[in-house]
Amino acid sequence: MAAPFSYLAGHGTQPPPPTWGASAPARVPFSQRTPPPPPKKPRKEFATRFSASLPPQLMRQLDAMVREKGYDNRSLAIADMIRAQLVEHATQQDDTA
């Protein structure tokens, strides 16, 4: 009886081609192989999401302000408020320096 076949036996680690009628896959010379695709560029980040919890009354006031000022959504209104506070903060820092 023959010894069991081992993929690690012999010179390589690839199995031999099947012997039950199928032909072995054609080998493509290394110089003719298709190169891998280039790495994907990192996505440009347009916004960062965050979550905030507000009391119901404050949320109603925010929604009323968003409608009155004509913002398309809360995010735009909140971004404008943060920008205004950052400018005010920077101005105060300049005054104390």
Report DSSP letters for 28-94, one per residue. PPGGGSPPPPPPPPPPPP----------HHHHHHHHHHHHHHT-SSHHHHHHHHHHHHHHHHHHHHH
Rounded mean pLDDT, 71-77: 96
Higher pLDDT, 89 or 24: 89
Give the model confidence (pLDDT) of 20-71 as tens digits: 656 666 787 777 788 888 888 887 878 899 999 999 999 999 999 999 999 9
CA distances from 90 to 60, 76, 81, 82, 97 (A): 30, 21, 14, 12, 11
In a domain, 19, yes or no: no
Query: What is the tally of structural domains in the chain?
Result: 1
Total-model pTM: 0.52
Structural domain of 91? 56-96
Within a domain: 12? no
